[in-house]
A = this chain, B = another copy of it.
Amino acid sequence: MIIVADNLRITLPSIQRAVEEMDPDPICGMVEDCVKAGAHSIDINSGPLSKGAEEKMTFLVNTVQSVCDLPLVLDTTNPDAMAAGLSTCRNRAIMNGVSLEKHKLEKMLPLAVEHKVDVIAYLLNADSHVPADAAGRMEVAVALFDLLQQAGIPSDRIIIDPVVAPLVWQDGNRQNMDVMEVIRTLPDLLGEKVKTIAGLSNLTSGAPDAEKRHRYQAAFLPMLAAAGLDIVLMNAMDPAIMRLAATCGTLVEESIFSWV
């Protein structure tokens, strides 16, 4: 399983301040820690970046790629920031992301085509809501997969995100069973192996403490791995979860087993 660190996010006060002051040090420190922890990729979660979006995303991407050559996931809903980030990125870039929402298809998708990058496709309805059941998620997956290919994104650059539901949602646990079914079923449904990604931290949004956050994530991650998940977006600074991800890999990948 490929691990994308979700640690670099503008909602952290230290990162927000660093971006405001164009101070690379806290960002570099965070990225270096994630790399040391074993992350395979870094998600740059800049948020919408309402003011000075292009300059800030350019600064973020340049800062991150000054200390690591891992693939970078550009995670912003702001098309101007995305365009600036993609233009700046020398590392392999992944756009996070598009969906059936009109503004994503109009503003984001053309950027993915233009920059020939991998693109994360969220299984949301056009009205921005999560589909009601597994069948709904699959319909959206088929529609989005076709649409992206027609737009010029080859299938091996599409990464499906079935959208992990926070447990605190009314039917969050049932929805997450759908999420696993979708991951398992996608290759048959789409007629080819297509990469999948899931945001593990979503599961525990609103968790009252770190122990519960860790415990529920540790129970859910192996379930996702067994369903066939390729890429997990998660906290790379939780050593127990990082070890668990590696252990899950040993269980689900067809490699020669040895006790590691």
Contacts and interface: CB of A to CB of B under 8 A. Distances in A.
A250 B167 CA distance: 10
Given A222-B222, A225-B223, A251-B220, A173 B244 contact: no
Contact of A244 (B180, B218, B225, B226): B218
Copies of this chain in its oligomeric complex: 2
A219 interface: yes
Question: What range describes how many residues of A lie at the interface?
Answer: 20 to 34
Interface string A158-177: 00000000011000111011
Given A216-B251, A220-B222, A172 B227 contact: no
B173 A252 contact: yes
A215 interface: yes
A225 B180 CA distance: 12
A173 B219 contact: no
A92 interface: no
B250 A173 contact: yes
Interface in A206-260: 207-208, 212, 215-216, 218-223, 225-227, 243-244, 247-248, 250-255, 257, 259
Interface in A73-126: none
Interface of A: 167-168, 172-174, 176-177, 180, 207-208, 212, 215-216, 218-223, 225-227, 243-244, 247-248, 250-255, 257, 259
